[in-house]
Chains A and B, each alone.
Chain A
Amino acid sequence: AQSVTQLDSQVPVFEEAPVELRCNYSSSVSVYLFWYVQYPNQGLQLLLKYLSGSTLVKGINGFEAEFNKSQTSFHLRKPSVHISDTAEYFCAVSISGNTPLVFGKGTRLSVIA
């Protein structure tokens, strides 16, 4: 079975500062990795995904993530955050593209003006 640990439940950061949201996973087989964002009262929107190839993945809204197989991590980064980035961020894994996602508990990013 797969599991995902998001190490920080809340991350406050000042506007225009960099941010890193941490994600570690556990799996006995190869996985696909995803980051989703959830704005208040909305569904989940895909930020980026790692399927194979380059370990540095670029997504929407200036976010990027790096897959580290040896550390079983997939941390999300943004060099300069905006107020509009305030949301809940979820890391997720799946063992194929047609299997359910296993999510972490989420990290609430709060951007302070």
Chain B
Amino acid sequence: RKEVEQDPGPFNVPEGATVAFNCTYSNSASQSFFWYRQDCRKEPKLLMSVYSSGNEDGRFTAQLNRASQYISLLIRDSKLSDSATYLCVVNFNNDMRFGAGTRLTVKP
């Protein structure tokens, strides 16, 4: 079993749609969690940290479910510029584990 698993997609959604991605992790002692965004042929960039109580940043909402060992990312009112690959990252003792990413395409 992979340490961090994501549905690779692609998710193709129309502008304005709401889309959600899940990511599961295998290490129950994982300490911190992040979502990164990666555009084609570019480096990953931090989108948001994921806090235990859940957190929101504009149109983006991240949630953590420790009991079921997954994190989620919800994007509301999708924009064309949201098209990218979204990487789930799980950290244990400074050992960061990256998912392979979920590809999102937002279409006009």
Q: Check if A and B associate.
A: no
Contact residues of B with A, CB < 8 Å? none
Contact residues of A with B, CB < 8 Å? none
